[in-house]
Structure 1
């Protein structure tokens, strides 16, 4: 695999965030996400490597300006052993008592960090949409939380495809395998970070190469098809800023992409603020808990619930997922 020298990680840049931005909630989200193993998270920040403009790029975001600084060099996954993961940060206590962050320190391209954490997105109008609704108790806990997105569209779209129709634990295992077996590493000072494989790397595979690592034949086919499409010049960024339904109509023409996958692409890759993947079993379970239904909500019920938050349904999705992950409700809903 290609080796290159990227130079120094650089001095941190102070980046102002919107007044209500809750970076500590984004860190809590990452620290408990089973699929977030390429990110290193602690109570003060997050460091990771993404492919940006065709090269592995180190990005670190912290509240204190302290972090990893050093020479950066790309290495083959076989030539360097990744450092053990940092212990996950605990959930950050009482959200009501947390002070909103006014800014963060960023090492690496600020544009990449902003794509991940949406520093300047103004979400204050969401307060009005939530007021007096069944979602208001969660809003009191999570106000200022913004979806954590993927800076690299190819990586984000692969993540969604890997997560299709499997449980979260198995999806995380497949993601880890994809990175460890086919990705690179990036050394930053004394630390070694995993790097998601490039489209060219995946495009050069055959389904049998992934089948050997428990990928289904269809899932392997979809990943390789996506990679080859990108290598041949397809640019997924055209969907950023497009109306949701128009983008979904285009995305569902891709091999292996249904409505749920297209909605997740828009939410986690293209930063669309108004997407609710209502077929998601986790979201249906969470709404059933929130409304006290004694069962999982149906897809139709979830879409109807989302209508009162038109313009902000991506945030509704994230509130429900985060509350479910934190165990806000004790009993399990049943189908």
Structure 2
């Protein structure tokens, strides 16, 4: 493990030189209804689950641009392998192992991306490492605004998830697919999502419980197109949700949610256009951003809030 364990049990993660914690915290703080972590005084507190082990961590960045991970409530794993998995989760969450130099070179020469990358330089495409959580978040967010999506997620997590209590606050753990697979839509009736969304989420959980769907299986597929087709075969997963998951969980930098309303609104805002961009325009932009469509989309989203 590249990281160093301090005498007091903290983990130090050396960050890329172009990582800016303020830019990333700005994204993480975009909605006050976020239930999976808390940001306070430039510190992030959240639960990271490694197998059967639940760890409650506080994360901050020091003046040397190092990420310090402190374990709360005596939740520091005793096994070296579990500590390494915590680090792996955090590195994946913040996409720390990706060299963004080619993206920034491209973006600074692109008239549409120049303002977002200057304004939010150092922002990483913050991910959702858990496949079930990413798929649920994608389904919950279909055809509704972001604020309502966060409300639905909070209701879902607080009804079916576990939590760790610390200093009078609950830090929530996303419900497991094993638990959701045993439910019926009636069990989700008091959450303000549509019946179809309830059915989709339970169906996804059942696929995972049967071993037919897993992150490992998707990661072993040959390319983005094959993986996208596999995701779209799942009931309730269309091209938008598939590309959302490809971006934020499976980490394909070429994933491109071309039908995303937020992407369209950001382009309208930056170009001062009354019309949403045409499919032709969006495809031309994809060619301009070849290999970095996911990051381009993420930075454009960031302009809106």
Same fold (TM over 0.5): yes
TM range, smaller chain? 0.7 to 0.9
Given that 1:306 and 1:316 are in contact with CA atoms closer than 8 Å, whether structure 2 keeps it comes out as no
Determine the C-alpha separation between the residues in 2 that align with 1:63 and 1:19. Answer: 13
Determine the C-alpha separation between the residues in 1 that align with 2:281 and 2:87. Answer: 39
The gaps in structure 2 that reach 5 residues or longer are 1-7, 63-67, 77-82
Match of 1:82 in 2: none
Describe the shift of the 1:108–1:63 C-alpha distance in structure 2 as closer, same or farther (beyond 3 A): farther
The 3-state SS of whatever aligns with 2:46 is: strand
Match of 1:288 in 2: 268
Given that 2:55 and 2:71 are in contact with CA atoms closer than 8 Å, whether structure 1 keeps it comes out as no
Give the CA deviation at 1:149.
0.6
Given that 1:57 and 1:108 are in contact with CA atoms closer than 8 Å, whether structure 2 keeps it comes out as no
Q: Per-residue CA shift, 1:250-277, capped at 9, x if unaligned?
A: 1101111100000000111112212221
Determine the C-alpha separation between the residues in 1 that align with 2:286 and 2:33. Answer: 26
The gaps in structure 1 that reach 5 residues or longer are 1-9, 74-105, 326-335
Deviates more, 1:254-263 or 1:168-177: 168-177
Match of 1:223 in 2: 201
Match of 2:142 in 1: 164
Match of 1:110 in 2: 87
Normalised by the size of structure 1, how large is the TM-score? 0.78
Count residues with an aligned counterpart: 284
Match of 1:304 in 2: 284
Give the CA deviation at 1:321.
0.7
Q: Per-residue CA shift, 1:62-95, capped at 9, x if unaligned?
A: 114486622349xxxxxxxxxxxxxxxxxxxxxx
Match of 1:145 in 2: 123
Determine the C-alpha separation between the residues in 1 that align with 2:52 and 2:256. Answer: 31
Given that 2:162 and 2:174 are in contact with CA atoms closer than 8 Å, whether structure 1 keeps it comes out as yes
Match of 1:262 in 2: 242
Give the CA deviation at 1:35.
5.3
Pick from 235, 241, 255: which aligns with 2:214? 235
Determine the C-alpha separation between the residues in 1 that align with 2:236 and 2:23. Answer: 33
Pick from 99, 103, 111: which aligns with 1:126? 103
Pick from 47, 50, 55: which aligns with 1:49? 47
Give the CA deviation at 1:143.
2.2
- Tell which has more relative contact order, 1 or 2 (C-alpha 8 A, sep 6+): 1
Aligned-pair Cα RMSD in Å:
2.4
Determine the C-alpha separation between the residues in 2 that align with 1:23 and 1:17. Answer: 10
Pick from 24, 27, 30: which aligns with 1:29? 27
Determine the C-alpha separation between the residues in 1 that align with 2:50 and 2:70. Answer: 21
Give the CA deviation at 1:48.
1.1
The 3-state SS of whatever aligns with 2:118 is: helix
Give the CA deviation at 1:294.
2.4
Q: Per-residue CA shift, 1:117-159, capped at 9, x if unaligned?
A: 1223111011221233111122211222111111221111111
